[in-house]
Amino acid sequence: MRRVLTSVVAVAAAVSLATACGSGDSDQTAAPAPSAPATTTAPPESPPAPPAESPSADPTGTPTPTETTPDKLKRGVKGDRVVALQQRLTELGYWNGGKADGSFGALTQQAVYALQKAAGLTRDGVVGVKTQKALDQGVRPKAKSTEGRVIEISKKKQLLLLVNDGEVEQVLNTSTGSYEQYEQDGVTHTAATPSGKFTVSRQIDGWRDAPLGLLWRPKYFNGGIAVHGAYSIPPYAASHGCARVSVQAMNYLWKNDKIPIDTKVWVY
């Protein structure tokens, strides 16, 4: 009889234990699992570096604009930036036709050449970072004369300056003698523009079909050497000795009587 009672008690205890360790549906709190024996493990490798943040995003995840360099201004470009360029060139005295029409044409290119020459930059006629900086800084050439109305021609910088009492009023791109050798009537000559102080002595209001080429409305100041208009005015010395300017610039000089007879011309 004692053996039967013992069996009954054992069964009841087993049922009670099963109820306490049942499924998660039970309101009972499961007893904590026994601690696993401590083990020694190697330290983990260095965690990978977090991904770099995108330069175009701030810590909140909002995209931020990236700084970009404005497109270069060059011949053929149109728009408001060209208008601003033309206005600034005119303000500094670089002749570019007198009208800010927003179209980067040949006259604007001539004025940019002149600015680049005055600033000692590469003469490519394109407004990039360095040329824009020269514009912003207001780079202008300085006159050598101090009084009277003088046309100054700088062979080194290839610039023609309209100067009044020592103040540079306007600056034009010019191309003077290349100092290369050429032949005329079997005689070898050097394409030179002599330095010195001269005076405009004669002029022709039209095309002059000279032995070495066509000259538009020339103003002669040293024998056969003149300031005249031409269709080709590169940003470097290329003439036979005259000081070339654009046809439009020569028309402007005539129309506004900028180089009348007896005007002083300094070449250096």
Same-domain check for residues 90 and 190: no
Domain with 119 in it: what CATH number?
A: 1.10.101.10
**pLDDT value, residue 154:** 98
Q: Give the pLDDT confidence score for residue 50 in this predicted structure.
A: 47
Share in percent of the chain as helix, strand, coil (round to 5): 25, 25, 50
Number of domains in the chain: 2
Residue 27 lies in a domain: no
- Is position 103 within any domain? yes
Which of the two residues, 67 and 157, has the higher pLDDT score?
157
Task: Tell which residue, 113, 102, 212, 84, has the closest CA to residue 171.
Answer: 113
- Residue 230 to residue 216: CA distance in whole angstroms: 6
- Same domain as 133, residue 156: no
Q: Sorting pLDDT into bands at 50, 70 and 90, what band is 60?
A: low
| In a shared domain, residues 131 and 193 | no
**Residues spanned by the domain of 234:** 149-267
66 — pLDDT class (breaks 50, 70, 90):
low
> For residue 3, is pLDDT > 70?
no
Please choose, from the candidates 98, 90, 123, 96, the residue with its C-alpha nearest in 3D space to the C-alpha of residue 111: 96
Would you say residue 7 has pLDDT above 50? no
Kindly state whether residues 153 and 128 are assigned to the same domain. no
* Least confident stretch, 1-10, 45-54, 89-98: 1-10
pTM of the model: 0.74
